């Protein structure tokens, strides 16, 4: 029966990956959107390998010899059976195919994905990672005229570092989730950015002033004006004097740093 363990784990992992990718967007909580085809393909391959292995092992079990019982001349029962072939044992009876029992731990994340979907990273991760993500210098185009300018978090941080003149006396609209603030701030507005998957997530962070903090980890849109402050290029956290805060649903892709969409009048 131990030989069934590994193909069963492969099938379980494959089914879990297919569950979060086929007809579902749960995978966006864990990896970048561009990785969707690869995750789905991996799930199909693992499921196929697992089912193939299970079929092979079950077929081998069905071919095991049948035990026959008979009485000897003294009336005692004896068992007659051909010795089964054990590919995982040598001539001394030592097992080589059992493998480490720790392999069962692979089933825990697979079962978690099958039975319930863990949420995307949020306030806990942003608070635990003390350093904010850096934003590289870019050629920022002239901002459109209007009373409020929707802006991605990375653009706002980049302009605060490299083009702060474009933010002077301008109202901006940002989206993120709420965490506790540091010294001299009311709270922080955050986004998490990833290079590949949730394991390498880093926070984009803006220090908020002027309004009480909404519920921690809630998603909000804030309208405010940039406040001058000296920033650390290695961990930039610009400041915003907030004029309005509005609670919004969590975005479809929590790791995609995009400007808020403003409804047309």
DSSP secondary structure string, the chain?
-GGGHHHHHHHHHHHHHHHHHTT--GGGGTB-GGGHHHHHHHHHHHHHHHHHHHHHHHHHHHTSPPPEEEE-TTS-EEEE-PPPP-TTB-TT--BSSS--GGGGGGHHHHHHHHH--PPPP-HHHHHH--SPPP-----PPPPPPSSEEE--HHHHHHHHHH-GGGGTT-EEEEEEEEEE--TT-SEEEEEEE-SSBGGG-EEEEEEEESS---STT-EEEEEEEEE-----TTS---EEEEEEEEE-PPPSSTT---PPPPPP-
- pTM to 2 decimals? 0.76
| pLDDT at residue 93 in the model | 43
- What's the whole-number mean pLDDT along residues 11-30? 90
Q: Which residue has the tokens 């079962």?
A: 111
Instruction: Locate CATH 2.40.50 in the chain.
Output: 125-247
Asked whether the predicted pLDDT for residue 2 surpasses 70, the reply is: no
CATH 1.20.120 fits 125-247, yes or no: no
Asked whether the predicted pLDDT for residue 218 surpasses 70, the reply is: yes
Asked whether the predicted pLDDT for residue 183 surpasses 90, the reply is: no
Asked whether the predicted pLDDT for residue 65 surpasses 80, the reply is: no
Asked whether the predicted pLDDT for residue 137 surpasses 60, the reply is: yes
């Amino acid at each position: 029966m131990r030989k069934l363990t590994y193909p069963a784990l492969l099938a379980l992992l494959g089914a879990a990956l297919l569950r979060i990718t086929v007809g579902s967007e749960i995978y966006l909580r864990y990896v970048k959107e561009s990785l969707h085809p690869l995750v789905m393909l991996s799930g199909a391959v693992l499921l196929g390998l697992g089912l193939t292995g299970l079929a092979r092992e079950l077929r081998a079990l069905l071919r095991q010899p049948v035990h026959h019982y008979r009485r000897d001349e003294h009336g005692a029962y004896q068992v007659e059976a051909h010795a089964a072939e054990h590919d995982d044992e040598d001539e001394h009876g030592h097992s080589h195919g059992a493998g480490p029992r720790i392999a069962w731990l692979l089933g825990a994340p697979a079962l978690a994905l099958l039975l319930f979907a863990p949420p995307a990273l949020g306030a806990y991760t942003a608070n635990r990672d003390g350093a904010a993500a850096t934003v590289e210098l870019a050629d920022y185009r002239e901002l459109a005229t209007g009373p409020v300018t929707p802006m991605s978090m990375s653009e706002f941080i980049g302009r605060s570092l490299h083009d702060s003149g474009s933010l002077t006396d301008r109202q901006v609209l940002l989206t993120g989730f709420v965490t506790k603030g540091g010294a001299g701030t009311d709270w922080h507005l955050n986004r998490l950015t990833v290079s590949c998957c949730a394991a390498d997530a880093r926070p984009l962070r803006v220090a908020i002033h002027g309004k009480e903090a909404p519920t921690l980890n809630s998603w909000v849109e804030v309208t405010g004006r940039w406040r001058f402050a000296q920033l650390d290029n290695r961990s930039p956290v610009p400041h915003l004097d907030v004029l309005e805060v509005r609670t919004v649903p969590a975005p479809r892709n929590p790791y995609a740093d995009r400007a808020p969409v403003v409804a047309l009048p």
